[in-house]
């Protein structure tokens, strides 16, 4: 008999705007799983299998600019409006009218904005690692982040460094090293003094601050890592970094969302030792003010950033509990 894990399939799905590569399994209500940086749909394997086993159709796409999905050349084609639109298109192309959306890392803001902009399509939302951050009326994010970095005297936030036109080149110079250092520096098993804080000292970049003897996280097998290396060697990092280059453009395009709240059922999970908490953690305290049906807010002890891969059992249980409560 074929197990659910063995039944996971990869295929390409044509939407109005893109051809998406997706990892999928199961039948039933649709759940979309949205990855972040520098990940792929394969980061959700444990969730696709568990959700399929629980009676849902779980679909994890490679997102715009990543892996086997189309890669628009223009930076400005990677805004939050494009990313939400991609997910709306994908729901329809998969033959559904509604779904639950789950996002991790950069995928979390995509999921939050799916729920915010299209509540008719996205009936519930789960965010992992990055809390919902309401639009700032005071101005775009990169000048604000630069001001915070200056005030704290901790160096430049990596998201500001990623605005540079050649920011992706440090990853493409040695793909395996770039990915290994990225996973290591944000992992829960990495000692405090070797974890990234997100703030980069003068004269350094995102990778140069990470020790050269960085190892793969305990949950990352060599075979799994090789899949990432092959995919990013083929596709490059320009598209993924373009998501960051659109931060201020996103702000200018979303004035219509100023003050808007997410009213669908929602959950949020974060690792206790997730470095993202150094620069986005302040938004955790006010989540209940913006997510009016927040069903749970969980901090996983000892966990780092790569939550669905570091702690799949807890993540799977939380997602299934949300789905069954709907």
Assess whether 82 carries a catalytic annotation. no
Q: Which residue among 62, 70, 86, 105 is the active-site one?
A: 105
Which residue in the list 78, 82, 104, 305 is annotated as catalytic? 305
Could you tell me the two tokens for 16? 């109005």
Instruction: State the distance between the two ends of the chain, measured CA to CA, in whole angstroms.
Output: 31
Q: Kind and range of the H or E element at 298?
A: strand 291-300
Cα radius of gyration (the chain): 18
Residues paired with residue 121 on neighbouring β-strands, in sequence order: none
Using DSSP bridges, classify how beta strands 199-200 and 156-157 pair: parallel, antiparallel or unpaired.
antiparallel
The closest alpha carbon to 35, from 19, 20, 50, belongs to 20
Residues 139, 248: Cα–Cα separation, whole Å: 9
Query: Would residue 35 show up in a list of annotated catalytic residues for this protein?
Result: no
Question: What is the phi/psi pair of residue 35, to 5°?
Answer: -85, 170
Contacts of 250 (CB under 8 A, 6+ apart): 79, 80, 81
Running DSSP on this structure, what letter comes out for residue 136?
P
Q: Give the active site residues.
A: 105, 305
């Amino acid at each position: 008999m074929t197990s659910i894990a063995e039944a996971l399939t990869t295929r390409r799905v044509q939407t109005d705007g893109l051809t998406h590569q997706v990892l999928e399994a199961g039948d039933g209500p649709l759940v979309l799983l949205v990855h972040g940086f520098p990940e792929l749909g394969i980061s959700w394997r444990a969730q696709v299998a568990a959700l399929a086993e629980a009676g849902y159709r779980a679909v994890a796409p490679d997102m715009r600019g990543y892996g086997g999905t189309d890669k628009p050349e223009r930076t400005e084609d990677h805004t939050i409006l494009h990313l939400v639109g991609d997910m709306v298109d994908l729901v329809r192309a998969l033959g559904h009218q509604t779904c639950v959306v789950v996002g991790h890392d950069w995928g979390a803001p995509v999921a939050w904005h799916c729920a915010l902009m299209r509540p008719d399509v996205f009936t519930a939302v789960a965010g992992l690692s990055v809390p919902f951050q309401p639009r700032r009326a005071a101005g775009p994010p990169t000048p604000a982040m630069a001001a915070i970095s200056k005030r704290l005297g901790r160096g430049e936030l990596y998201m500001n460094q990623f605005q540079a036109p050649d920011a992706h080149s440090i990853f493409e110079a040695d793909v395996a090293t770039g990915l290994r250092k990225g996973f290591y520096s944000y992992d829960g098993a990495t000692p405090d003094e070797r974890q990234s804080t997100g703030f980069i000292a003068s004269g350094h970049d995102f990778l140069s601050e990470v020790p050269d003897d960085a190892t793969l996280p305990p949950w990352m097998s060599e075979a799994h890592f090789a899949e990432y290396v092959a995919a990013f060697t083929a596709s490059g990092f320009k598209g993924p970094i373009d998501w960051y280059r659109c931060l201020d453009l996103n702000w200018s395009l979303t004035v219509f969302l100023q003050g808007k709240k997410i009213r669908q059922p929602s959950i949020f999970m974060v690792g206790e030792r997730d470095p993202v908490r150094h620069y986005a953690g302040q938004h955790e305290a006010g989540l209940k003010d913006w997510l009016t049906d927040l069903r749970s807010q969980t901090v996983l002890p000892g966990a780092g950033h790569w939550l669905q891969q570091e702690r799949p059992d807890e993540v799977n249980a939380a997602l299934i509990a949300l789905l069954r409560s709907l």
